[in-house]
Amino acid sequence: MIVTVTLNAALDRTLTVPNFQSGTRNRASDALALAGGKGINIARTLKRLGEPVIATGLAGGRTGTSIIEGLTSEGILNDFVRIRRESRTSTAVIDPNGSQTEIIEHGPTVDDDELEMLMEKISYLARGADIFVLAGSLPPNVPEDYYARVIREIKSQVLTALDAQGPPLRFGLAADPDLVSPNAREAEEIVGYELNDDIDLAGAADTIGSLSSHSAIVHRADGCVARLREPSIKGTSTYRAYLPARDAASTVGSGDALIGGYLAGLSRGDDPETRLALAVACGAANTLSPGAGVFDSGDVEALRRQVQIWRLDEVANTAD
């Protein structure tokens, strides 16, 4: 069982607006509303891949009710803590001609007793889980080290994965998660330099992975670089998984689909190359239609066969 945790859950609205122009009246040709937030998007990906998953986190007000009802209607098991204040709504405006505009609310303030209830629920769910995923932004008043506290609480019981940015990621790294998965921009904030090529990406993955002593995946539009710690070889290997970027209907949630695909492969016991090929294929399939974690299994399989993977550390050793 994989458990995903989303503290700042949202109702994600995606509007398709041909020839979108700011400052004028626009008409949407299509609309889609889904439960969202990074952890929920990852849960949706895992569900579509046939993996057992439970989504938990915080949800409040009518929006929170819509989030929970949406997950239930999709067949995604969920067990959220209901909070007093209203969960956020996020809106993405997609222009088929190529532009994408996102409007994202900060989210509700959360009371201390509600955070304590969530910690108790997490501790309970960890007893029957194999992997725990902590993902996304934190509501405005939640302590920036909350993810770190959770990781320290449960890491002796389960494999922990962290997908965050900024201070929550920095604090979380200090708690030694088993896997971290920033995108390239988020990784740049940690390492302090721009990532322009595979060498830079590999260096960033190595730096971030060494901060937590475990695995790191740095992803972008054309795949990812992964520094993976493999217990079987008692060391790390660095891989480049590449799939040329293509025209996208929507990029919202593609990084979440990527990490969901990787965790599905990890849960199945796949080798690193197989995990990474599935991860990149899920991220790419996610761009083919609006909706985070929404993709066709046939597209995933077709894209998986196109992913190219090679060992960057082997290339470096050959060059030496």
Q: What is the CATH number of the domain that holds 55?
A: 3.40.1190.20
Confidence at residue 318, expressed as pLDDT on a 0 to 100 scale? 42
> pLDDT tens digits for 193-204?
999 888 899 998
Give the domain extent around 240: 2-20+29-319
The residue assigned the tokens 């995606």 is 14
Rounded CA gap, 40 and 67, in Å?
10
Which of 3-7, 248-252, 292-296, 311-315 has the weakest average pLDDT?
311-315
What mean pLDDT do residues 12-35 have?
92
Q: Which two tokens stand for residue 311?
A: 């060992």
Per-residue pLDDT, 232: 61
- From the centroid of its chain, how far is CA 129? 18
- Say what the pLDDT of residue 121 is: 97
Question: According to the model, what pLDDT value does residue 44 have?
Answer: 98
Place of tokens 């790294």: 173
Amino acid at site 221: A
Question: Residue 86 pLDDT > 60, yes or no?
Answer: yes
Distance (Å, whole) CA 261 – CA 247 = 21
pLDDT at residue number 3: 98
Percent over 90 (pLDDT), the chain: 80
Higher pLDDT, 31 or 317: 31
pLDDT reading at 288 higher than 90: yes
**What does DSSP assign to residue 220?**
E
**What's the length of the chain?**
320
CA-to-CA separations, 212 to 172, 234, 299, 317, in angstroms, rounded: 9, 16, 34, 24
Work out how many domains the chain is built from and give that number. 1
Amino acid at 222: D
Average pLDDT (278-282) is 97
Q: b/e string for 269-280 if b means 16 or more Cβ within 10 A? A: eeebeebbbbbb
The predicted model scores a pTM of 0.93
pLDDT in tens, 213-244: 689 999 999 999 999 987 665 678 999 999 99
